[in-house]
Amino acid sequence: MGPRILVLNGPNLNMLGVRQPEVYGDNSYADVVDVCAAAAAARGASVEVRQTNDEAELLGWIHDVARTRNFSAIVINPAAWTHTSVAIADALVIPEIPIIEVHISNVHARESFRHHSYVSPIAAAVIAGCGLAGYRYGVDRAVDLSGA
Ligand code: DQA
């Protein structure tokens, strides 16, 4: 069995396709799942893709990774929590596995409150502004770093 990659998505990403298509594009959340699955399959890896609008649920998922050690890397689009949550950044260091931060839009070309990320300092890589392909690159990099 190849590397197991966990892809986590934060709030409002279930609304892709409906939400500000001029910023996030026309693709749906189901397309995110498909992109991640294809990227993992191309590398002989497996992927699990999750989304939540509940910060506590996301924290619990990260804690479970630390307890069970069942994933070799995490790809995360923390969405708005990127800019607000010390708790998520703190949790992401607990599993001691590579963290890849992905944003669909180029957060640095948007409002100034999106320029700061609590996650970037603990991330092995940060991908922004590549649309859904960012998840493909993120999963690919996560496989590169798995077991590294
Ligand atoms: C986002 C960018 C964030 O600033 C925003 O809050 C999101 C999505 C992105 O994928 O571009 O919800 O993470």
The structural domain count of the chain equals 1
The binding-site residues of ligand 1, defined as CB within 6 angstroms of any ligand atom, are 12, 77, 79-80, 82, 103-105, 107, 114
- pTM over cut 0.95: yes
User: pLDDT (tens digit, 9 = 90+) per residue, 104-138?
Assistant: 999 999 999 999 999 999 999 999 999 999 999 99
User: pLDDT (tens digit, 9 = 90+) per residue, 86-113?
Assistant: 999 999 999 999 999 999 999 999 999 9
> Is there a catalytic annotation at residue 116?
no
> Is there a catalytic annotation at residue 103?
yes
User: pLDDT (tens digit, 9 = 90+) per residue, 11-53?
Assistant: 999 999 888 898 888 899 999 999 999 999 999 999 999 999 9
Domain harbouring 43, CATH code: 3.40.50.9100
Q: Which domain holds residue 57?
A: 4-145
Ligand 1 centre distance from Cα of residue 49 (Å): 17
Ligand 1 centre distance from Cα of residue 15 (Å): 12
Determine the Cα–Cα distance for residues 97 and 146; give it in Å rounded to an integer.
8
CA distances from 138 to 15, 19, 25, 46, 103 (A): 21, 22, 18, 14, 10
State the SS3 of the chain. Answer: CCCEEEEEECCCHHHCCCCCHHHHCCCCHHHHHHHHHHHHHHCCCEEEEEECCCHHHHHHHHHHHHHHCCCCEEEEECHHHHHCCHHHHHHHCCCCCCEEEEECCCHHHCCHHHCCCCCHHHCCEEEECCCCHHHHHHHHHHHHHCCC
What is the pLDDT, as a whole number, of residue 148?
63
Task: State the maximum Cα–Cα separation within the chain, in Å, rounded to a whole number.
Answer: 43
- The 10 Å Cβ neighbour count of residue 55 is 18
Q: Which atom of ligand 1 is nearest to the CA of 78?
A: 13
> In which residue are the tokens 């630390």 written?
66
